[in-house]
Amino acid sequence: MARILIVDDSLATRFNLKQILCENDFEIAGEAANGEEAVKKFVELKPDLVTMDITMPVMDGITACRKIKEIAPNACIVMITALGQQTKVLEAIKAGASNYILKPFNSEKTASVLNAVLEKKLTIKEAVLIESR
């Protein structure tokens, strides 16, 4: 069972994502409300994967992604984003993110992307196809 660190400044989003992950047999390693907390919790908890919101106070998700990748170059980080943030998604991918998931969440798509990233099989182009279904 993969251990996931959920990072989002929205309590409601963390709650929804936690429900979806639990329904799909993921273990919640922990939660963080901003990028600074995410980096600390990543070091402390050593999760298998991090879901990371892009826009957060204190430290944004892209900066946190860079810092985590400096610590653990093989870290799996999946960015969480809303429609219309394509430029930010590209910036996150350049920073080392493995993939991304669009809000609002769909249980099947979310599980599919996370499992594929954990298995190191999914490319960004394939993720776009999953998101567009």
Q: What is the pLDDT along the chain (133 residues), one digit of tens a residue?
A: 889 999 999 999 999 999 999 999 999 999 999 999 999 999 999 999 999 999 889 999 999 999 999 999 989 999 988 766 777 888 888 889 988 888 888 888 888 889 888 887 444 444 444 444 4
CATH architecture of 3-131: 3-Layer(aba) Sandwich (3.40)
Q: Among residues 117, 118, 101, 96, which one has the least CA distance to residue 16?
A: 101
Q: What is the pLDDT of residue 10?
A: 92
Sole residue written with tokens 């639990």: 22
Q: What is the pLDDT of residue 84?
A: 67
Residue spans of the domains in the chain: they are 3-131
Q: Structure pTM?
A: 0.86
Distance, CA of 70 to CA of 91 (rounded, Å): 16
**99 pairs with which residues across the strands?**
78
- DSSP code at position 73: T
